[in-house]
Amino acid sequence: MRLLSFLLAVCMVSGCSTFGTQPKRTEEVGARNLAKTEIDGVLEEHQRQIFDSLRLLSDKLYKRNPRQWKVRSTFVSQEAAMSRIFEQDHRWQLTELENRRSIDALQLAFKEDFQGDRVAALMVGMASMVQRAFDDKTEFFIVDDLDPQKINNAARNIEIAAWKLSSARDASGQLYLLSNEMACNPGDPANLSFEREIGKIIAHLDASSRIVASKNKRVVVRVIQTLASAVFIPI
């Protein structure tokens, strides 16, 4: 009973929502680890891998769309723009995105009259949606009760965002954001690194959903949509 009370106290102190920062890797060993199972550690690693991919995807998108980070004159470099997204404690609520998170931010990236940084809108939308699916936590403990359906829905929304990234165009027929690039000459390799990185994110989310469903003995319903008419699923 005393051990259980101790574990619950650790979880109450350490497991509160921290949805302003990117999950960090740490080798720290302490009392809080007594309140974790092996599954919790696996979920944390999947979450960190997702954010590694999101940061790499952000770098790739800014390199292909450099005018996006220049929309805000306060940034002196691409690195500063990325730091704004992944390192500042903004709780995934950026004033230039009207404090929108998750799907609401994602939609801005493909909105015709949006005048802001579309890469930031896409990244903040993806990152905050992932965190919402993980109950806005960056650590997991024995008493946490995640919803595998939310995580699965997040994976499906990433698929929809990927389709929009490669196909959504403005009134003049131009892609809102450049990503994958086909080979210019026969025999040259195509640049499909964006697709691969997004695929990793989806894979980590699907794996996390299966782990949580198995742990909590829940059934996950996969929502099937036609991409051409797909809409983002609420998280």
pLDDT in tens, 94-111: 999 999 999 999 999 999
Angle at 10 (CA atoms; ends 6, 16), nearest 5 degrees: 150
Q: Is the separation of the CB atoms in 205 and 154 below 8 Å? A: yes
Q: How far apart are CA 156 and CA 133, in angstroms?
A: 12
Read off the pLDDT band of 92 (50, 70, 90). Answer: very high
The total domain count for the chain is 1
Helix (H, G, I), strand (E, B) or coil at 16: coil
Domain membership of residue 122 (yes or no) is yes
b (16+ CB within 10 A) / e for 128-144: bbbbbbbbbbbbbbbeb
Q: At what angle do helices 193-216 and 118-133 cross, to 10 degrees?
A: 20
Percent of the chain with pLDDT over 70: 81
Domain membership of residue 235 (yes or no) is no
pLDDT tens digits along 177-214 = 999 876 455 555 556 889 999 999 999 999 999 999 99
Kindly give, in sequence order, each residue whose CB lies less than 8 Å from that of residue 21, ignoring residues fewer than 6 positions away.
Answer: 87, 89, 138
Domain membership of residue 16 (yes or no) is yes
Q: How far apart are CA 20 and CA 22, in angstroms?
A: 7
Domain membership of residue 143 (yes or no) is yes
Q: How far apart are CA 235 and CA 102, in angstroms?
A: 8
**Which residue type is seen at 123?**
M
What letter does residue 47 receive in the DSSP assignment? H
Domain membership of residue 234 (yes or no) is no
Q: Could you tell me the residue range of the domain that residue 185 belongs to?
A: 2-229
The whole-angstrom distance between residue 213's C-alpha and the CA centroid of its chain comes to 20
Domain membership of residue 77 (yes or no) is yes
Read off the pLDDT band of 147 (50, 70, 90). Answer: very high
Write out the two tokens for 96: 């230039």
Q: Which helix (H) or strand (E) holds 208?
A: helix 193-216
Read off the pLDDT band of 137 (50, 70, 90). Answer: very high
